[in-house]
Amino acid sequence: MRETQAQYHWQNLESVKYALDNSMMPHQQVKQLISAIDTLQRDLQEGLRIDTIPPK
């Protein structure tokens, strides 16, 4: 995945988290969804680190 694609997806996930945080959904559901997105972002970040390290 190119960096521009990753940034695009990252911003979309941040927008979803913001919308959830400002929704009328029950607090527990919002916490679970935001946690799932945080996990996805963390995995994405780890994967990008591996992809951007130059081979030895």
- Under DSSP, the state recorded for 55 is P
Q: Spell out the domain ranges in the chain.
A: 3-52
Nearest 5 degrees, angle CA 43-CA 12-CA 28?
Answer: 75
What amino acid is encoded at 38 in this protein?
D
Note the pLDDT tens digit of each residue in 2-18.
778 888 999 999 999 99
* Global pTM value: 0.75
Higher pLDDT among residues 45 and 24, named by residue: 24
For the chain, what's the residue count?
A: 56
Note the pLDDT tens digit of each residue in 14-35.
999 999 999 999 999 999 999 9
Find out whether 9 and 44 touch, Cβ atoms under 8 Å.
Answer: yes
Nearest Cα to 18, choosing from 36, 34, 1, 40?
A: 34
Nearest 5 degrees, angle CA 43-CA 41-CA 49?
Answer: 55
54, pLDDT greater than 70 = no
